[in-house]
Structure 1
Amino acid sequence: WLSDIHLDPFYATPSAVHPDKCGSDRGADRVYSQVGCDPSYSLVEAAFQKVSSLISQGGTPVDFVIVTGDIARHGTDKLENSFVATQQILNNVSQLLHSSVQSARDGNSNEGGSHIPIVPSIGNNDVTPDYYIDLDHPLEMLQMVSDGFEAMMWPNRNFSDETADPQQEDVERSTFQTGGYLARNVTEKITLISLNTVIYSTNHAPANQNTIDDPLNQFAWLEEQLDLAYSANRKVFISGHIPPAMGSYRHSQLWNEQHVKRYYSILSKYFDQDLVQGQFFAHLHSDEFRVINIDLDDDDTASDKQWPLFLASSISPIYGANPSIRRVAYNRKNASLLDYD
């Protein structure tokens, strides 16, 4: 499980995120990036090499990889031709991660199947300007992100694979390019639902669109996917970038209130069936968790239903965190989470 990669291809140059401390004068002698900076290519490559080693070393096979958003550096809108620059960063990371994961799988006889699925989510820095998705005209922005994620999301378009499923890829591509979300059956038991959480953020722009009840029809789609998974006797993991919870820095709600309530209202329908076995988010560059207990019916009484959320730390050291990735263990029979490190 990787998150908040924030590759800065301009690290140790005058175009770095913070040129005063990450530019050519101070950043060049720190190949793996300085704390307070977004990562260099060398740091991202080292992180992906660690992923490769976890796959190739044997032991318990890696079933799939989750990337919970913010692949691009901070401040892409300050770069010349920021739209193209953002897409290029997404594309470079996507290709490198795909290559790292699949080459390790090919070298490990314990890894079954044709390839290891990689499922990313859109982060607020993966669009430009930051947090910007025009809900009336989202296609150009989402097409850009889709093209940038291509190599890791749909590698069968670029690499020979006899098990490729073009029809399923077309369905995923359609929902992602129109809404920024997708659902994929990553194992025989688990459906992974990747949400576009940027559109629920209190920082989403244009701000005058933040009162829309179901932006990009994602909630209706989510209900449909949960119904399908339940009918097929599957379990669900949900991933996204911005968590439906309070932030740990400003102690403010990260999603708009009506969207938080709608989200948990949808999940509550299947609470007793243990359909959703894990929720994976990020954004805060900090290894955290939340246990959500929310008043769903506005009677000033919290629900007796509780939802655990897991938040990953970052590869980027820009906010002082040591670069990190996560390995999550789960029960293959019932998809219940067991542990993580």
Structure 2
Amino acid sequence: MDHLSVTRGTFWHVTDFHYDVNYTASTGSTDDMCWAKTSVRGRTGGNKPGKFGDYACDAPLALVNSAVDAMKKIDPNPDFILWTGDDTAHVSDQYFSEEKVLEIISTLSNIIQQSFQYTLVIPVLGNHDFHPKNQAPIGESSIQSKVAEIWAEWLRSIDTEAYSSFRSSGRYWADIPNSSVTMVALNTLLWYKSNDLTSGIPDSDPSGLDPDGQFVWADELLTGLSERKRRVYLVGHIPPGSFERYQQTQAGFHWYQERHNDRYIQMVEKHAAVIEAQFFAHHHTDSFRLFFKDQKTNDPGTPISYQLIAPGVTPWRSTLSPETGANNPGIRLITYDRGSGQILEVSTYYLNLTKANLEGEADWTLEYDFTSAYNLDSITPTSLYSLARDLKNERSIFEKYYQANTVSLEDPAKCTAKCQTLHWCTITEVDYTRFNDCNIATLASVNSAMALTLMMLSVLIR
């Protein structure tokens, strides 16, 4: 692999299209022109819904096409494309069917394939890619089998029985040609707390603690990849840990069933030496997570792995909680070392949706490069932990991060001390109990500092 060690490659990470087939850019309210009949308003300017979308809605076809066109224009020859799911709109199941979901996945697949005809695509399904949504059964299913046919050309081009593995289990692995990198694509829907097909299985049943034996499969696979001296990218749709834009409770908001979140952390700890990086989605926001070893009370321990969470194409304003908000559409180009697998740069491109609608033109531009924005020499667990501490303690650095978190949409001034604490805890504590403890302890420290400041001010006023 020595001849590869100085060779840089690139790949795109695109996710969460949430294509709204009912979006119509005509006069009227968002209730009439987009499928998501949300009561939350986040208009992009003016009275007329925009050509490229609206913050109250999911992505119209014009936005989807503009994102893929931008990818083709910016880097037409990546080594591969990572596409991490959630293709359909945020709509009640009554408006969908298996056929409609498959039609949307097929449409998006064709758009990507037409622009990147000779590029390897590594796709996974999201929780909105099933009908009913979130309900991914253990093992083979009708919709998963039919998606395997849609993606057959991509999956069969991978020399690892990826097609049959995805068809039967929704997971697979793939060696990236001319590199030391192996992609391990996980079916994270099996661990989702909103998946009633797995969440109700008791721990006494082997399928409760390990649906479809995916943790055992991953353990054996990662052990073998370590023996082969490969560098692994773990990829999936739903990330472990807590959501950084939910402030309603100190316990936070989580996606995984706790038993599966615990096992995921254990898997990363055990195999950190072979895992180079992790790439996930689902949040629509731009953030990262850290994993540690040798953790103690009030001490995260030593950083051993990191996970990058990519922003989505959809600008949809979430209804989860008021502070969750919307985002500008984003896509991500990643530069990596083909020999070592190390991530060298993460370049996020975005569309200013308000500006695009006003001008009638989608001008996707570079939002930021990760290393230069945060003044990093490298992207490693250690450097990202140092950055996380800076985000906690340095408001100016945190504001850079927070602006990127909603893809240059929301004013960082909206994120007060409580909000800033939440981001620190979600980044550094993937374990649910430790996240809750971090939230309580850090907020207590913030409140104590505020009380001291107020006391000093009162003395000065006297």
For 2:147, the aligned partner's letter is: V
TM-score, normalised with respect to structure 1 = 0.81
Mind listing any 5+ residue stretches in structure 2 that lack a counterpart? 1-12, 25-31, 247-251, 318-325, 348-462
Aligned residues: 305
Shift of 1:202: 1.7
1:245-324 alignment runs, 5 A limit = 245-250=241-246, 251-271=252-272, 274-293=273-292, 304-319=302-317, 320-324=326-330
Matched, 1:209 2:211: no
Q: CA-to-partner distance for each residue in 1:28-65, whole Å, 9 max, x for gaps?
A: 85221111211111110000001111233xxxx52111
The residue matched to 1:242 in structure 2 has which SS? coil
The residue matched to 2:194 in structure 1 has which SS? coil
Retained in 1: the 8 A contact 2:232–2:277? yes
Q: CA-to-partner distance for each residue in 1:193-214, whole Å, 9 max, x for gaps?
A: 1111111112222331374111
Matched, 1:337 2:343: yes
Matched, 1:37 2:36: no
Retained in 2: the 8 A contact 1:51–1:101? no
Corresponding residue of 2:107: 92
Retained in 2: the 8 A contact 1:143–1:177? yes
Task: Decide which of 23, 37, 40 is 1:18's aligned counterpart.
Answer: 37
Corresponding residue of 1:230: 226
TM-score, normalised with respect to structure 2 = 0.61
CA 292–227 in structure 1, closer or farther in 2 if over 3 Å, else same: closer
1:149-164 alignment runs, 5 A limit = 149-150=151-152, 153-154=154-155, 164=157
The whole-number CA distance in structure 2 between the counterparts of 1:27 and 1:191 is 49
The whole-number CA distance in structure 2 between the counterparts of 1:4 and 1:310 is 15
The residue matched to 1:327 in structure 2 has which SS? strand
Shift of 1:303: 5.5
Corresponding residue of 2:124: 121
CA 242–325 in structure 1, closer or farther in 2 if over 3 Å, else same: same
The residue matched to 1:145 in structure 2 has which SS? helix
The whole-number CA distance in structure 2 between the counterparts of 1:100 and 1:27 is 34
Shift of 1:14: 6.3
RMSD over aligned Cα atoms: 2.8
Retained in 1: the 8 A contact 2:290–2:303? no
For 1:189, the aligned partner's letter is: S
Task: Decide which of 173, 176, 199 is 2:163's aligned counterpart.
Answer: 173
Corresponding residue of 1:159: none
Corresponding residue of 1:242: 238
The residue matched to 2:315 in structure 1 has which SS? coil
The residue matched to 2:116 in structure 1 has which SS? helix
CA 148–10 in structure 1, closer or farther in 2 if over 3 Å, else same: farther
CA 38–260 in structure 1, closer or farther in 2 if over 3 Å, else same: same
Matched, 1:74 2:95: no
Retained in 2: the 8 A contact 1:197–1:241? yes
Corresponding residue of 1:105: none
Corresponding residue of 1:131: 134
Identity %: 24
Matched, 1:5 2:25: no
More helix, by proportion: 2
Mind listing any 5+ residue stretches in structure 1 that lack a counterpart? 103-114, 157-163
For 1:96, the aligned partner's letter is: I
The residue matched to 2:277 in structure 1 has which SS? strand
The whole-number CA distance in structure 1 between the counterparts of 2:225 and 2:65 is 36
Retained in 2: the 8 A contact 1:91–1:150? no
